[in-house]
């Protein structure tokens, strides 16, 4: 679908020069001399690189339709992670490379959103905060009461996070998936 460059919005997904991009910022510029133009900051969804381009206001660009599918993680075998579409119950595998750093937060039964463009996975959205069980951590050392004292704790996915000293093995904690940090007890 072709749209006028003046109708763009932040977060819109477009195809520019054959690249699938999301618009991060845009600015309509009307200089004192010469024609108006649009300056756009674009993030390439396949490579992750960010570029800034300027366009005349009379051009049309192609809008890309992104399909958001709610799925549930089932299990993994080697480098393949199996998910189930929550609406159709269809199962499919996603390679660990496609999941990237998100792998450390994916646990059995977790609901996530996968973004598809013409059958290709271009993005994964995890819940903002997820509850995990601490499977391994050191016991608190009596007398170690320095301000903001933290220790390492391994959660059920194998990810190691810094937690306060009072957290014990077997306890459930909440971790922010945006920065990978301890948020609170569950």
Each domain of the chain, given as residue ranges in start order, spans 2-63, 67-125, 129-185
CATH number, span 2-63: 2.30.30.30
Confidence of residue 144 (pLDDT cuts 50, 70, 90): low
| String of DSSP letters for 91-125 | EEEEEHHHHGGGGGG--TT-EEEEEEETTEEEEEE
Structure confidence at residue 88 (pLDDT): 94
pLDDT value at 51 more than 90: yes
Structure confidence at residue 143 (pLDDT): 61
Give the count of alpha carbons within 13 A of 120, CB side only: 8
**Does the reported pTM lie above 0.85?**
no
Residue 119 makes CB contacts below 8 A (sequence gap 6+) with none
Domain 67-125 adopts which CATH fold? OB fold (Dihydrolipoamide Acetyltransferase, E2P) (2.40.50)
Domain 129-185 adopts which CATH fold? OB fold (Dihydrolipoamide Acetyltransferase, E2P) (2.40.50)
Confidence of residue 142 (pLDDT cuts 50, 70, 90): low
Are 67-125 and 129-185 equal in CATH topology?
Answer: yes
Distance (Å, whole) CA 150 – CA 140: 10
Structure tokens at 173: 């904690």
Closest C-alpha among 25, 32, 20 to residue 9: 25
Rounded to the nearest integer, the mean pLDDT of the chain is: 89
pLDDT value at 126 more than 80: yes
């Amino acid at each position: 679908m072709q749209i006028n460059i003046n109708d763009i919005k932040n977060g819109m997904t477009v195809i520019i020069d054959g690249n699938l991009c999301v618009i991060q910022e845009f600015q309509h510029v009307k200089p004192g001399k010469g024609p108006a133009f649009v300056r756009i900051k674009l993030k390439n969804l396949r490579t992750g690189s960010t570029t800034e381009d300027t366009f005349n206001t009379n051009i049309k660009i192609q809008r890309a339709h992104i399909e958001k599918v709610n799925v549930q993680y089932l299990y993994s075998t080697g480098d393949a992670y199996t998910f189930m579409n929550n609406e159709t119950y269809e199962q499919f595998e996603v390679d660990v490379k496609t999941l990237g750093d998100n792998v450390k937060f994916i646990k059995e039964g977790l609901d996530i959103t996968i973004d598809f463009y013409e059958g290709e996975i271009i993005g994964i959205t995890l819940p903002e905060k997820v509850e995990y069980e601490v499977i391994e951590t050191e016991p608190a050392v009596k007398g170690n009461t320095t301000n903001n004292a933290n220790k390492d704790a391994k959660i059920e996915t194998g990810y190691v996070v810094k937690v306060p000293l009072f957290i014990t093995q077997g306890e459930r904690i909440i971790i922010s998936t945006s920065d990978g940090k301890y948020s609170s007890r569950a």
